[in-house]
């Protein structure tokens, strides 16, 4: 599991913690830089958060570099019933769109992905589905339509546990992106600020 100095995974339900599992691709890992991206910065703003997962890059997570939604699903599915997370923070769709899948198909797949994982944990109380960063590559691929359609897609689930997380609206300048896809550390800070706003509205004591 975790290396020395890393947070330990919290297994199963606990009354005193609300374990969060961050799931996604390189945006979840925090590439480039290996500094934890928005996750490590979010812990500064919400220090009582407890992260779960098997990857330990600046905090436990389930991020998989370069993976599409359909590739992450079979990797993450086995760990959900074991760790029994309460809150899922999902950022998926960049690689799907970048590798040629339509925005509408990607939205549908991400929604199905979130529903599938939520059904596998008895204790899931909240599922946050994030926007994706729209750098030059995603802009050229029409990725902004993903963010535009996210709220309606999540509302269509009809489950009050599911939230559309507006985490990337502030990523609008060239200095926010290290390349066509990935935020800089300054960009990840903007994502962390947005995540903190979303989560504090739901969990004021974080």
Residue 185 lies in a domain: yes
Residue-wise pLDDT tens digits, 2-37: 333 333 444 444 444 579 999 999 999 999 987 899
Residue 106 lies in a domain: yes
At residue 162, does pLDDT exceed 60?
A: yes
Question: How far apart are the C-alpha atoms of 164 and 128, rounded to whole Å?
Answer: 6
Give percent above pLDDT 70 in the chain. 92
Under the banding of pLDDT at 50, 70 and 90, the label for residue 173 is: confident
Instruction: With beta carbons less than 8 A apart as the criterion, state whether 38 and 110 touch.
Output: no
Domain limits for position 169: 20-202
Instruction: With beta carbons less than 8 A apart as the criterion, state whether 167 and 191 touch.
Output: yes
Residue 6 lies in a domain: no
Residue 111 lies in a domain: yes
Taking residues 94-100, what's their average pLDDT? 96
Residue-wise pLDDT tens digits, 122-131: 889 999 999 9
CATH of the domain at 113: 3.40.50.1110
Question: How far apart are the C-alpha atoms of 73 and 55, rounded to whole Å?
Answer: 15
How much is the pLDDT for 17?
58
Helices marked H in 57-184? 69-76, 80-83, 94-98, 103-118, 136-140, 144-155
Report the number of distinct structural domains present in the chain. Answer: 1
Residue 10 lies in a domain: no
Residue 67 lies in a domain: yes
Residue 37 lies in a domain: yes
Residue 97 lies in a domain: yes
Question: How far apart are the C-alpha atoms of 105 and 4, rounded to whole Å?
Answer: 41
Taking residues 191-200, what's their average pLDDT? 96
């Amino acid at each position: 599991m975790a290396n020395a100095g890393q947070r330990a995974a919290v297994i199963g339900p606990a009354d005193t913690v609300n374990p969060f599992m961050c799931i996604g691709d390189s945006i979840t890992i925090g590439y480039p830089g290996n500094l934890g991206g928005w996750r490590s910065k979010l812990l500064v703003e919400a220090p009582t958060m407890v992260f779960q997962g098997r990857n330990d890059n600046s905090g436990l997570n389930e991020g998989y570099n370069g993976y599409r939604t359909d590739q992450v699903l079979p990797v993450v599915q086995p760990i959900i019933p074991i760790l029994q997370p309460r809150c899922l923070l999902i950022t998926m769709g960049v690689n799907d769109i970048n590798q040629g899948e339509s925005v509408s198909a990607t939205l549908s797949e991400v929604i199905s992905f979130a529903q599938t994982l939520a059904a596998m944990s008895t204790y899931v109380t909240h599922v946050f589905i994030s926007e994706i960063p729209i750098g030059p590559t995603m802009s050229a691929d029409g990725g902004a339509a993903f963010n535009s359609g996210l709220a309606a897609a999540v509302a269509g689930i009809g489950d009050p546990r599911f939230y559309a997380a507006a985490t990337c609206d502030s990523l609008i300048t060239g200095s926010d992106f290290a390349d066509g896809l990935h935020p800089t550390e300054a960009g990840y800070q903007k994502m962390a600020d947005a995540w903190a706003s979303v989560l504090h509205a739901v969990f004021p004591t974080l």
